[in-house]
């Protein structure tokens, strides 16, 4: 995977505010590769510790990594059955927010 792509993904993910979530697809679109959400997921799998990977979820509002539930709940996000409660309200769209 291209290092520049990964760095762009990480930079966008770092901008997601605490208490909000974004999606793999939204980040892919923001970095100019709208059909590369799986690549974003792969990049997030090996991201540095300063990147809030727990705030990046699937477009259905479901956690891809169950271990991230505790981190999200610590930020005030309610998770039920691995789904973000109030996902649409908490969704941070980099194309709108940036």
Name the residue among 5, 3, 10 with its Cα closest to residue 53. 10
- Indicate which CATH number applies to the domain containing 59: 1.10.10.10
Tens-place pLDDT, residues 68-91: 999 999 999 999 999 999 999 999
Q: What's the number of domains the chain is made of?
A: 1
pTM of the full structure: 0.95
Which residue do the tokens 């520049």 mark?
A: 4
94 in any annotated domain: no
DSSP state of 17: P
> Which residues form the domain of 32?
1-88
98 in any annotated domain: no
96 in any annotated domain: no
Tens-place pLDDT, residues 34-74: 999 999 999 999 899 999 999 999 999 999 999 999 999 99
């Amino acid at each position: 995977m291209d290092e520049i792509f990964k760095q762009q993904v990480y930079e966008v993910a770092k901008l997601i505010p605490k208490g909000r979530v974004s999606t793999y697809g939204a980040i892919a679109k923001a970095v100019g590769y709208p059909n590369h959400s799986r690549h974003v997921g792969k990049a997030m799998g090996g991201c540095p510790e300063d990147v809030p990977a727990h705030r990046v979820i699937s477009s259905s509002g479901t956690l891809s990594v169950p271990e991230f539930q505790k981190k999200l709940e610590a930020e005030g996000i309610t998770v039920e059955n691995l789904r973000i409660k109030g996902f649409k309200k908490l969704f941070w769209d980099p194309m709108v927010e940036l």
